[in-house]
Structure 1
Amino acid sequence: MAPRPITPHRDHGFFAPDSVTRRVWGYPTTPLVGIQRATVIEELDPNLIAAVHDTGDNYTRLDTRYARTVQYFASVAFADAQTVLKLADVLVKIHSKAIGHEPVGGGRYDANDPDSQLWILVTGWHSVLKAYEVFGPGKLSEHEERQYWAECAIAAELQTCDPADVPRSREEVHAYFEEWRPRLAASEAAQQMMDHLLDGVNAVVPRKGLLRAVRPLANRTLRHATIATMPRYMRDLAGVRQGRVTDLVVTLWLRTLMAVAARSHGIQRYILGTLSPRTLPVIEPHWRGIAPLAPVVLTPEEARHQWGYPRPRDAHLELRARQAQRVFGDGLAPSDDGLIESQALLGHLG
């Protein structure tokens, strides 16, 4: 059967084809372990768990949310600049709805808050790199790792956080998580959500055909693999237990599987098509080496100048103020502005 025609991207986006970002984010560990690890660890932020718990969407439509998360992060790494700017702009609108009162500390949460956005960004990029190191080819060189975090700072320009706050080395990343450690909290809601996300395969993989038979084994493998990458203090906060022997066995087993998958675009296409079908057109041009219409790499500033998008931290301030007034001033639920618009880019909400 002839391969499906692939539509070239307009340009290379924000990262070159040979960038460290594309090498790491394009490895099959990313959608299977890296993103799952990120979504699990993120819940230790009391503000984030308050936002997620209030909607209940991770329980009612985890498959849709996971697919959209994979698609967004893959787009940042592999899509053309205009597509990424449009996604980033809509994301600010979506996050304007995620505001409210945080029950653990009694304060307020806002998904567009720069500190929360930096936590999500660093946790995501670190988790993808961690999965690549543990279950993939291994650690990057010091030079490559510094390049990776410099490229993460480029991605920060697509969120409301300050790129200058992004750590730029392994030591700075470690210091960042140590600084966050006293702020982390494992409420009952957080532990329940983390356990649910660790069993993500049971929610996101269809219950039919061959997949139905392998779902329990796949879920058990990826659950153990994700836990194996988590530091002990995070495991303690999450209330999960796993011995060193299990860590070692699942690491060796998944490293072998990922080495096989990395050699086959067919296997990777099947995995991604199962977890996030709308991501396939994003990454297929990279897999097949299809040049974009304009073979250039842009900076976010150049792209914003060309297509007229504001910086995310300056975007939709009127909408964000209206949402804050509804929630904190009028005691009403936030409106759904932005959610409907997102479906054209990230798929139906389900």
Structure 2
Amino acid sequence: MFGPGSQFHEFFNDPRWALAMVRATVLEAAHPQIGAALIDNSTFVAHPWRRLRNTFLSMQRMFGADDHVRQREAARLNRLHARLNGTDARDRPYDAMDPDVRAWVVATLFESAVTMCRLSGQPLEQQAMERLYAEFQAFLAALGDEAGHLPPSLHEFWHYYDRVVEEELENTEAMRIILYKLFDHLPAPPLLHGLPTLWAAGRTIAGPVIGAITVASLPEPFRRRAGLPELPGAQTLMQGAYLAVGLARVLPDGWIQADTISDLLSLSPDSDDPRARTINALRDTMNRAGALIRLISPLPPEPRPTAQGATQRSAEEFFQEVLDQTGNGYLDWPDLAAMARELSSRLDLDEPEETQLYNAFADWWRELQSALDTDGDGRISAEEYAAAAASLAGPALIKVAEVLFDATDEDGNQIIDADEYRTLFRTAFQRDTAGTETAYTRSAFIKDFLSFMTGRHRTSPYDPLLAQA
């Protein structure tokens, strides 16, 4: 069911899967419970590339051959989902652990995989389709969900899928953001931070096209009921896109590796990864090309990239880039929970360390709310934060730093060595202790963490973890 030889494994490096994943995400977001959970808790608006990389890594673990890795990832996902519950704007409850909701997520992945094959002119044979459906059923079982929330047979699945599409899906806010805002305003991945003009030029063209392709690929009954406009020629554009992307499958093996592409997109220019030096060497050439584009076709102004070596940022910049993880313009508990989630994922924490980290962030949130929420609305605006930013560095934030230090200091010797440091800052770090006599002590770690979390320093190893898109 899992690993090499499975039907899903054949799709893993298939470039068509990118289109299928966007489609599946839209169908998930159209479910009222999932849409509400995304709006309240997800970082997909402010940090889409990070969310994409984390989703890819999770699926890689769940569908890999190592059963121990799969069990640990399933336990991590269940802990994550257990923390996502609340009510939507219409006071309807949502719960990420609802078995019917989890079944719908798996259903969208399976159906979108089948649809991508059909739209690219290579429909799955019945046996391959049933095999793929069995693998997704096994995926749901690996999460610990009882059988029955997905229909037992493929024949029954299509009746279930049509019913949910026609009766339960809605034109949710999360779905509209994905279709009409996310791609049009998609921030550059870390790899392309220094090329705002080239990125803006490509996004201006690609954003509306991806949206049109996705809408055209959605089930027709849902498009009609949700009032989603279909542009003239969108069906032809959609089929052409799937066919064109599918042609990449004929490239030699190894040319398209999903994990390699994901790593490159999330690679910070400041990383010590040797590939970063190659990318930086190409950056000058691309910048010259960007200058030529600006002369030929001026674009709307883009935010200027921060110069390397800059150590300060304004309170407003820190609020937007780091604190407001969900991108809704306010600081509240889901923002700090997202930080805890990202750090615990990067450190690959198990219990009880993960809960200790969440509890430390929860204490910090209560401290912040007490100090900064002047109007009592239960959240902190950028103005409230800027007016009293110094209050961030209280005892609760020190506790967060101490929990992080203890989780990183695996051997308990009160010193973070080079290997432990690399584990924490695996995406990009600027303090390499390898081959030196200098150790990262508890006091130095806490000082650096507080300096970052109070917005005083930009060139910190934490930027790639919490500030990049």
Q: TM-score, normalised by structure 1?
A: 0.68
Aligned to 2:450: none
Distance (Å, rounded) in 2 between the aligned partners of 1:198 and 1:262 = 31
Amino acid at match of 2:105: I
Displacement after TM superposition at 1:195 (Å): 2.3
Amino acid at match of 1:73: M
CA separation of 1:58 and 1:268: change in aligned 2, threshold 3 A: same
Aligned to 1:48: 34
Which of 188, 191, 211 is matched with 1:223 structurally? 211
CA separation of 1:48 and 1:22: change in aligned 2, threshold 3 A: same
Which of 174, 183, 194 is matched with 2:178 structurally? 194
Q: How does 1:327-338 map to 2 (within 5 A)?
A: 336=337
Aligned to 1:9: none
Q: Are the aligned partners of 2:100 and 2:149 in contact in 1 as well (CA < 8 Å)?
A: no
CA separation of 1:151 and 1:258: change in aligned 2, threshold 3 A: same
Displacement after TM superposition at 1:58 (Å): 2.3
Residue 8 (structure 2) pairs with residue 24 (structure 1): no
Which of 249, 252, 258 is matched with 2:240 structurally? 252
Distance (Å, rounded) in 2 between the aligned partners of 1:150 and 1:222 = 30
Distance (Å, rounded) in 2 between the aligned partners of 1:89 and 1:176 = 28
Aligned to 2:82: 96
CA separation of 1:237 and 1:207: change in aligned 2, threshold 3 A: farther
Aligned to 2:19: 33
CA separation of 1:257 and 1:51: change in aligned 2, threshold 3 A: closer
Displacement after TM superposition at 1:111 (Å): 0.4
Aligned to 1:161: 145
CA separation of 1:47 and 1:250: change in aligned 2, threshold 3 A: closer
Which of 220, 223, 228 is matched with 1:235 structurally? 223
Amino acid at match of 2:146: D
Q: Secondary structure at the match of 1:228?
A: helix
Distance (Å, rounded) in 1 between the aligned partners of 2:225 and 2:264 = 31
Residue 130 (structure 2) pairs with residue 131 (structure 1): no
Residue 26 (structure 2) pairs with residue 58 (structure 1): no
Displacement after TM superposition at 1:149 (Å): 0.6
Displacement after TM superposition at 1:93 (Å): 1.3
Deviations 1:97-123 (A, max 9, x none): 21112333x332110111111111111
Q: Secondary structure at the match of 1:109?
A: strand
Which of 152, 160, 176 is matched with 2:136 structurally? 152
Displacement after TM superposition at 1:54 (Å): 1.3
Q: Are the aligned partners of 1:67 and 1:276 in contact in 2 as well (CA < 8 Å)?
A: yes
Displacement after TM superposition at 1:33 (Å): 0.9
Q: Aligned pair count?
A: 280
Q: Secondary structure at the match of 1:248?
A: helix
Distance (Å, rounded) in 2 between the aligned partners of 1:276 and 1:201 = 18
Q: Are the aligned partners of 1:145 and 1:169 in contact in 2 as well (CA < 8 Å)?
A: no
CA separation of 1:213 and 1:271: change in aligned 2, threshold 3 A: farther
Displacement after TM superposition at 1:340 (Å): 3.8
Distance (Å, rounded) in 1 between the aligned partners of 2:233 and 2:135 = 35
Amino acid at match of 1:130: T
Residue 86 (structure 2) pairs with residue 83 (structure 1): no
Over the matched positions of the two proteins, sequence identity in percent amounts to 21
Distance (Å, rounded) in 1 between the aligned partners of 2:333 and 2:37 = 12
Displacement after TM superposition at 1:266 (Å): 2.5
Q: Are the aligned partners of 2:64 and 2:70 in contact in 1 as well (CA < 8 Å)?
A: no
Q: Secondary structure at the match of 1:202?
A: coil
Residue 328 (structure 2) pairs with residue 342 (structure 1): no
Distance (Å, rounded) in 1 between the aligned partners of 2:37 and 2:211 = 24
Aligned to 1:266: 255
Distance (Å, rounded) in 1 between the aligned partners of 2:51 and 2:181 = 11
Q: Are the aligned partners of 1:42 and 1:120 in contact in 2 as well (CA < 8 Å)?
A: yes
Displacement after TM superposition at 1:156 (Å): 0.8
Q: Secondary structure at the match of 1:26?
A: coil
CA separation of 1:253 and 1:101: change in aligned 2, threshold 3 A: closer
Q: Which moved more, 1:90-99 or 1:175-184?
A: 175-184
Q: Are the aligned partners of 1:191 and 1:239 in contact in 2 as well (CA < 8 Å)?
A: no
Distance (Å, rounded) in 2 between the aligned partners of 1:46 and 1:56 = 15
CA separation of 1:233 and 1:171: change in aligned 2, threshold 3 A: same
Deviations 1:191-241 (A, max 9, x none): 533325762783464455565553333334433332232112322455432
Higher helix share: 1
Distance (Å, rounded) in 2 between the aligned partners of 1:89 and 1:197 = 33
5+ residue gaps, structure 1: 1-13, 278-331
Q: TM-score, normalised by structure 2?
A: 0.52
Distance (Å, rounded) in 2 between the aligned partners of 1:349 and 1:84 = 26
Q: Are the aligned partners of 1:35 and 1:70 in contact in 2 as well (CA < 8 Å)?
A: no
Q: Are the aligned partners of 1:134 and 1:255 in contact in 2 as well (CA < 8 Å)?
A: yes
CA separation of 1:52 and 1:245: change in aligned 2, threshold 3 A: same
Displacement after TM superposition at 1:148 (Å): 0.9
Q: What value does the CA root-mean-square deviation take over the aligned residues?
A: 3.3
Q: How does 1:67-78 map to 2 (within 5 A)?
A: 67-78=53-64
Q: Are the aligned partners of 2:119 and 2:243 in contact in 1 as well (CA < 8 Å)?
A: yes
